[in-house]
Chain A
Amino acid sequence: MNVEKIREDFPILKRKINNHPLVFLDSASTSQKPVQVINAIKNYYEMNNANPHRSIYQLCDEATQMYEDARKKVVKFINARNDEEIIFVRNTNEAMNIIVQSYAMDNLKEGDEVLLTVMEHHANIVPWQMLQKKGVKIKFVDIKDDGTLDMDKLKDMMSKNTKIVSVTHKSNVLGSLNPINEIGKISHDNGSLFVVDGAQSVPNMQVDVNNINCDFLAFSGHKMLAPMNIGVLYGKKEILERMEPFMRGSDMIKEVQLTESTWNDLPWKFEAGTPNVEGAVGLSTAIDYLEKIGLDNVEKHEEDLTKHALERLRDVEGVKILSAKNGNGMVSFHLSGVHSHDIAYILNDSGIAIRSGHMCAQPLMRRLGVQSVARASFYLYNTKEEIDKFVDSLENVKKVFKK
């Protein structure tokens, strides 16, 4: 994997921030975009733009084709069975809302339980809280002190009432990869539906829905080189077929009467209104880009960077690592006596972008006993030199705070 060559594809990496080259270490929040993706979107608007599924002129035909081709690309990318199982959404967060509102609200009843983990992103917590008004209980599996999921507790907490298990594949704070195949098997043996939040895993490792045998998988395009506001909900066809639509309106219908309507076939039943064609085109191009490099290579590269970052950070006095023993692709940390916002602000002075705050994982912050953390996350375009610059610049933070 030639990182220098990859970097040339990302125009934003040529930017200077405060007279320093940009060192972008926040890809777990959102990735930067290669020129291939940017051009694909530009070309779409310059050559093919029309409202898909609506008319019969050539542009409409092309736009429809591009949108549906993108879906086919996703089918292959995650090894789904067919187009009907791929719903385009805005992001992981929206996908979770579809599962909760169109599946769980209709199928769960008082006394039923949903099992989550304390390491979930707010997108995989807050939607489920809606179910509490129906008397459904939400339970949280704890982590062990090394930051990995406590599988013994997970097994203990499964009961005949557990109707859904929804777990992140990879934590956005700890970087830990959960044993998703094992959790899937435990869930299905128990008769529970199995949902995977793939927001942090799909961008940088091969995720095969057939292999992990999940009932739903959600992920966002913008963390994997595609634009914002395009994401995917994968669902098993037999489950999606039984579900009511999420949003109602145009394109998701077969026939509309004044007082009633019938629903379109899958997947369009879940895609109301004019879709995000530029997003789908961008996602399709992003998948091409990632597949050309090879997700195995991306994952390996992140492992190397993470290892390097951990080695360097261990030597910095006052730094406490908060990411998990098996964490990959990111390093979350705390610097004694300095709030994460101040760390991020001072690093920005050297052109370095890292995430600070609660990481949209407040329950996990409480579990870790911190109010906020600083996180450096890595992707295919990052280098060891950038990590060195980041670690070296922590000295500036200490200088300002006289630590």
Chain B
Amino acid sequence: MSLEIYHETILAHYNNPGNSGVISDADVISKDNNPVCGDVVEIQVKFNGERIDEIKFQGQGCAISLASVDILIDAIKGKTVDQIKNFRQEDFLKLLGIEISPLRLKCALLGLKVLKTGVYSYLDNNTEST
């Protein structure tokens, strides 16, 4: 457990998240919380067919959970649902580039969990309608 997790990039995303906000005509709104600390993350997505057109988040939480979701969104903007389905936890942690202690993994991965839940619910709804 080291303080290196609070490096410049993380703090910059935490203090000025570029992807925070809402989408008025979102296709999917996905929300979850971390029962350990009560952190909440909500992600709103507008799809263009199979591709993410627009994506925003809002939430309350620690620097790690909120910076992580902002970094995640930068990484997956414009990707297809298949690419997101195949985007693994390990890929994301590698992208974050910080060593996360076991107890804080949930903070770092909350955004990814919310995103995947949202994408799957979008797929479910689309399958039903076709």
> Residues on A close to B: CB < 8 A?
18, 338-342, 345-346, 348-349, 356-358, 362, 365, 371-372, 400-402
Contact = CB atoms under 8 A, between A and B. Distances in A.
B61 A365 contact: no
B1 A357 contact: no
B38 A371 contact: yes
B3 A371 contact: no
A339 B63 CA distance: 7
B38 A348 contact: no
Contacts of B61: 339, 341, 371
A150 B88 CA distance: 51
B33 to A, nearest CB: 10
Interface of B: 1-3, 5-6, 11, 36-40, 60-64, 104, 107
A341 B107 contact: yes
Contact of A349 (B3, B60, B62): B3
Contact of B1 (A18, A342, A371): A18
Given A342-B62, A349-B3, A401 B11 contact: yes
Contact of A358 (B38, B64, B107): B38
Contacts of B2: 349
Interface centre among A338, A348, A357, by most B CB within 10 Å? A357
Contacts of B64: 341-342
A342 B3 CA distance: 10
A365 B38 CA distance: 10
B38 A357 contact: yes
A357 B11 contact: no
| Best-surrounded residue of A339, A357, A362, A400 (most CB of chain B within 10 A) | A339
B15 to A, nearest CB: 8
A400 B63 CA distance: 11
A30 B38 CA distance: 20
B1 A341 contact: no
Contacts of B39: 339, 341, 371
A357 B107 CA distance: 12
B6 A346 contact: yes
Contact of B63 (A342, A349, A365, A372): A342
B62 A339 contact: yes
Nearest to A337: B15
A371 B40 CA distance: 9
A342 B14 CA distance: 12
A338 B61 CA distance: 9
A371 B60 CA distance: 8
A345 B1 contact: yes
Nearest to A357: B37
Contacts of A358: 37-38
